[in-house]
Chains A and B, each alone.
Chain A
């Protein structure tokens, strides 16, 4: 498992504890009290380090190759999942997975931006950067959900929509725009969860929802901190500083009201315990979906409209 910069001391102490335990077993020496003291220290170091992550440290966690992906959550949260492919127009985009499954026995439509879990899969998944056909597949599944009255659950995890020649030729802008307008008016409950990177318009195209949540250590931003620093300060090496200025953490965006809820991660990040993270998401979904379903559809759409309508700060 990857050891991040801010975890180095923790890692060293954990190793030392293991050594002590080994020595104690091998040589029959009683080191129980020392080990206990060290473990207490380790706990406090962990909670200290993990509860005070800087925005940049969260960026690192959000982009970690070990970070659980949409499929990791889908298989833990839903039963009877069947993946459905293709946009019915050009091709199937592997950077978006979508299908139908059951949440607590009730059918829902699930759409997720899917990063690879290793280099090989990343090449197939295009590093989680959808092409227009990916967004059109997502929209097809949303309209299908609307027809059958199924709630829609989106997992958002992308560095951004893919910037390529084919993407432009096939209307990347149009595909994203269409999703924004259709999601604003989709006549079923919608929940979007940013599980890693929420990269700009490419993320928003799956996040105009009744409820928008973020995992504790995920990020949601207008562009990457590197890009931001390079555009505004002509210096991409100031990315760390940009990560702070840009206000891209779950905590900041919850305070602005741009997201509705923060889902807890285990200490050290979602990858330390995928089951626990999935369970946290599942519990939140099981609580909110029935509530959203209680609303008359008109009421739901009005609430959705008012929420997005309220974003922005200006003087009059």
Chain B
């Protein structure tokens, strides 16, 4: 497989886009242009934290964590499920739930179509049931590659259905958050998803069932201000950006720059808003432990 690498006619390029971050341009045409000079794109990636070039296969082998500095890159939802859920135990829910365009916002449908093609996802969350080290649970995993994991009607509906199912089946819920917040293109329908998911969690809570949000990079806005913060036990990945308001908005409002490490997982731990920061390699074991402590 390395044959091609040493031919003079081919270039090994470090991707211009840091691994795990979402490309700025999402329309297919712009992407095509962006990718042309980078063939074979993505064999090597530059760690956005320590600056080292990492062979992509190595990075994937280490669940997208930089071996050198421990930086946790964003993880696609399916990879997350594979890394957490016991083999062959995952059953996906509501695969065919798709966004419509309630406000008739110009260009929204095209954007959705382009993202479906690019990411292979149908929306910004995957839900289902499965097992973690033998413990049954309902799981939701958000994917920041799909419109920055923003919460529109479909994200809200899929999560609500999953939580309702868990309440009915008396199962714990684990949600991996990764979201910029509201789906602007759906306006007030998006805002109402916060109330909808929180209402479903209220019932799950009343039933005495366990809910664990795991906050991953980034968790902000309406997701932080709803289900991300409503866990019995809240975990977060190292270095994840977690906050309510965006940094730029805060800086513009208070006219001063923000302290180092503001709105990171560690910052939230220090201020008492999460229970623990857990590295990716320990997450499955930790979740399994918490689930078994709750007698599941």
User: Which A positions have Cβ atoms within 8 angstroms of B?
Assistant: 161-165, 167-174, 176-178, 180-182, 184-185, 200-201, 204-205, 208, 220-223, 228, 231-232, 245-248, 253, 256, 258, 304-305, 308-309, 311-316
Other A-B contacts than A181-B198, A184-B195, 20 sampled, CB-CB below 8 A, are A163-B244, A164-B245, A167-B244, A167-B245, A168-B250, A168-B262, A172-B245, A173-B244, A174-B229, A180-B194, A180-B226, A208-B195, A222-B187, A245-B103, A245-B105, A256-B188, A309-B160, A312-B153, A314-B100, A316-B97
Which chain B residue shows the least CB distance to A315?
Answer: B98
Residues of A within 8 A of B272 (CB): 171
Top 6 closest pairs, chain A to chain B, by CB: A163-B245, A312-B153, A173-B224, A311-B192, A180-B198, A184-B199
Bound together, the chains give a CA A170 to CA B230 distance in angstroms of: 15
Residues of A within 8 A of B186 (CB): 313
The interface-forming segment of B36-44, B200-208, B275-283 is B200-208
Residues of B within 8 A of A185 (CB): 199, 202-203, 206
Contact A316 B188, beta carbon cutoff 8 Å:
no
Contact A171 B271, beta carbon cutoff 8 Å:
yes
Q: A315-B99, A316-B98 are in contact. Are A201 and B225 (CB under 8 A)?
A: yes
**Interface status of B182 (Cβ within 8 A of chain A):** yes
Contact B225 A172, beta carbon cutoff 8 Å:
yes
**Interface status of B196 (Cβ within 8 A of chain A):** yes
Among B190, B203, B226, the residue within 8 A (CB) of A222 is B190
Q: Most A CB atoms within 10 A — which of B106, B201, B202?
A: B202
Contact A173 B184, beta carbon cutoff 8 Å:
no
Contact A163 B191, beta carbon cutoff 8 Å:
no
Q: A221-B188, A314-B99, A314-B154 are in contact. Are A168 and B196 (CB under 8 A)?
A: no
Contact A313 B102, beta carbon cutoff 8 Å:
yes
Bound together, the chains give a CA A162 to CA B203 distance in angstroms of: 29
Contact A221 B187, beta carbon cutoff 8 Å:
yes
- Rounded to whole Å, the gap between the CB of A248 and the closest CB of chain B is 7
Q: Most B CB atoms within 10 A — which of A168, A223, A231?
A: A168
Bound together, the chains give a CA A181 to CA B102 distance in angstroms of: 26
Among B96, B98, B199, B273, the residue within 8 A (CB) of A305 is B199
Contact A311 B250, beta carbon cutoff 8 Å:
no
Residues of B within 8 A of A177 (CB): 198, 224-230
Residues of A within 8 A of B157 (CB): 312, 314
Residues of A within 8 A of B156 (CB): 311-312
Which chain B residue shows the least CB distance to A164?
Answer: B254
Residues of B within 8 A of A182 (CB): 202
Contact B195 A311, beta carbon cutoff 8 Å:
yes
Residues of B within 8 A of A208 (CB): 195, 198-199
- Rounded to whole Å, the gap between the CB of A307 and the closest CB of chain B is 9
A-B pairs with beta carbons under 8 Å apart, 21 shown: A161-B225, A161-B244, A163-B246, A165-B258, A167-B245, A173-B229, A173-B244, A177-B225, A177-B228, A185-B202, A185-B206, A201-B226, A204-B191, A204-B194, A204-B195, A247-B103, A258-B188, A311-B189, A314-B157, A315-B97, A315-B100
Contact A222 B250, beta carbon cutoff 8 Å:
no
Chain B, residues 143-159, CB within 8 Å of chain A (1/0): the string is 00000000011101100
Residues of B within 8 A of A312 (CB): 152-154, 156-157, 189, 192-193, 196
Q: A181-B198, A204-B195, A222-B188 are in contact. Are A169 and B206 (CB under 8 A)?
A: no
Which chain B residue shows the least CB distance to A135?
Answer: B225
Q: A171-B273, A172-B245, A177-B228 are in contact. Are A314 and B196 (CB under 8 A)?
A: no
Contact B243 A311, beta carbon cutoff 8 Å:
no
**Interface status of B3 (Cβ within 8 A of chain A):** no
Contact B153 A314, beta carbon cutoff 8 Å:
yes
- Rounded to whole Å, the gap between the CB of B115 and the closest CB of chain A is 15
